[in-house]
Amino acid sequence: MKTESPNGNSLLAPIMFLPFFFIACCIVPSSADKPSYYIPPDTFAVDCSPSVAPHDAGFPYDQKYEIDFSSVSRVYAVDPSSSEKPRISACIFRKQVTWPFIVSDGPNFIRLYFKLVAYSGLNISKALFSINVGPYTLITTSESSYSKYSPNSDYAIREFCVSMDGQVLNVTFTPSSKVFGAYAFINKIEIVSMPSKLYIQEDAPFSLVGQPTHYFMGNSTALEMIYRMNIGGDVISDLEDTCMFRRWTRDDDYFMSNDGNTSIVESEVEVNSSLLVPSYAAPLQVYTSARTILQTTESKYRATWLCPVDHVAGSVRKEVNRRKNDDLSIMIDGQRCSGFDISDPTPGVEFSEIMAPTGR
Ligand SMILES: *[C@@H]1O[C@H](CO)[C@@H](O)[C@H](O)[C@H]1NC(C)=O
Ligand SMILES: *[C@@H]1O[C@H](CO)[C@@H](O)[C@H](O)[C@H]1NC(C)=O
Ligand SMILES: *[C@@H]1O[C@H](CO)[C@@H](O)[C@H](O)[C@H]1NC(C)=O
Ligand SMILES: *[C@@H]1O[C@H](CO)[C@@H](O)[C@H](O)[C@H]1NC(C)=O
Ligand SMILES: *[C@@H]1O[C@H](CO)[C@@H](O)[C@H](O)[C@H]1NC(C)=O
């Protein structure tokens, strides 16, 4: 949980106060005429470590971006969290630098990796910067971003989905001009193409937490991944994903088990694709485990997940209610979420990804 949850992710400065919605990757529609896999046309990786072999990075990227070290410097630190690779390196930007990536049309995952350790000659409190992709401001740090600085933590990973019209995806690092000696830094970047309708479907509305209205997203909405959980199941690594290198965490840390009567079910499921949700939306493991609320003589039980989202806004509390002879309904902060139906043959709850609009 420490590694990829935004929870342990102290680099995170508030970006914007924005409504939350959640995306259930768990619709199991019929008709299997769509391909069951997705091959991203572009997979880039930039690693600030010197000469990392592809298998080292764990990410089987096609294209390695060569860093121009005339405008970027590399710094080193001792990595207290890894005895295997005790030395860690980062790219440091002391003025505005843009890295252009040539990508295909359509949306991309952009994953930014930050390792908060004491780099030699640098004070982390001066790591004050923003990162933009085209017109979107993905990250803006401030001194409070480092208040929970822990030198033993693993990479803080921030993941975004951004759609570009053109074929150049410019990633721009801008150190703060207000603080003398401010710098920007990054350890790794991954850019992976994603299917155009994975999250944003222009004709499908999302429910907003705490508001009766629905929310329609256009192609120009940038998203940030807040949580990606395999409910009731195990960690799913990037290499087990359907070729988009996403990672799922367990839900144990967020599940409030004491106020419900729930259990985990494992089942064999057949994930059928549809026009709206292709079967590569998530790997099969996401569907096979679920939590159920047991049928009891009591009229009502509920299951609750509490997902802090400190760097965006407040928290998301997801509740699932089961009344006797009633369907499961998903609620966030007491509001029923009905953006998508869950028609999984498993009688349980399988929300998967919580995303927030971001960036402007
Ligand atoms: C999935 O497709 C198979 C074969 O097309 C079908 O037998 C099965 O009932 C479908 N399952 C669901 C949940 O629609
Ligand atoms: C880093 O900067 C902060 C604030 O400017 C200062 O309090 C601290 O002593 C500095 N640390 C080092 C190691 O220089
Ligand atoms: C990318 O950046 C370059 C130079 O910094 C600029 O000339 C170009 O217009 C930018 N392209 C896009 C699509 O933002
Ligand atoms: C959004 O993207 C989809 C898929 O690329 C495209 O069919 C649709 O026309 C786009 N909509 C707008 C408003 O650009
Ligand atoms: C869960 O339900 C079972 C069966 O109705 C009951 O025996 C048990 O006490 C319940 N547990 C809790 C924590 O409510």
**So what's the pLDDT on residue 95?**
95
User: Ligand 5 atom 11: the closest Cα is on which residue?
Assistant: 261
For the chain, the maximum distance between any two Cα atoms, rounded to a whole number of angstroms, is: 71
Average pLDDT, the chain: 74
CB 159, CB 108: distance < 8 Å = no
Distance CA 128, CA 7 (A): 20
User: Ligand 2 atom 1: the closest Cα is on which residue?
Assistant: 123
Nearest ligand to the CA atom of 296 = 5
Nearest ligand to the CA atom of 196 = 4
User: Ligand 4 atom 10: the closest Cα is on which residue?
Assistant: 219
**So what's the pLDDT on residue 353?**
76
**So what's the pLDDT on residue 324?**
54
**Ligand 1 centroid, distance to 273 Cα (angstroms):** 9
Pocket of ligand 2 (CB under 6 A): 123, 125
**Ligand 1 centroid, distance to 65 Cα (angstroms):** 43
- What are the DSSP calls for 115-165, one per residue? --S--TT--GGG--EEEEETTEEEEE--GGGGTT--TT---EEEEEEEEES
Give the ligand 3 atom nearest the CA of 98.
5
* Residue entry with tokens 């949850």: 5
Per DSSP, the three-state class of 279 is helix
Residue 12 CB-density burial (10 A; 0-12 exposed, 13-18 middle, 19+ buried): buried
Give the ligand 2 atom nearest the CA of 124.
1
Q: How far is CA 140 from the centre of its chain?
A: 17
Distance CA 63, CA 69 (A): 18
Under-70 pLDDT residues of the chain: 1-37, 51-62, 202, 204-212, 257-261, 270-277, 294-301, 310-350, 359-360
Give bridge partners of residue 354 from the DSSP assignment. 22, 227
User: Ligand 1 atom 9: the closest Cα is on which residue?
Assistant: 30
User: Ligand 5 atom 5: the closest Cα is on which residue?
Assistant: 296
Distance CA 231, CA 137 (A): 31
Mutate to test the pocket of ligand 5, among 256, 261, 263 (most ligand atoms within 8 A of CB): 261
**So what's the pLDDT on residue 282?**
82
Tokens representing residue 68 in the block:
């121009």
**Ligand 5 centroid, distance to 297 Cα (angstroms):** 9
**Ligand 5 centroid, distance to 348 Cα (angstroms):** 17
**So what's the pLDDT on residue 272?**
63
Per DSSP, the three-state class of 55 is helix
Ligand 1 near 345 CB (within 6 A):
yes
Ligand 3 near 168 CB (within 6 A):
yes
**Ligand 2 centroid, distance to 323 Cα (angstroms):** 56
pTM of the shown model: 0.81
**So what's the pLDDT on residue 32?**
42
* Residue entry with tokens 């769509």: 34
**So what's the pLDDT on residue 346?**
47
**So what's the pLDDT on residue 99?**
94
Question: Is the sign of the CA dihedral 308, 222, 238, 173 positive or negative?
Answer: negative
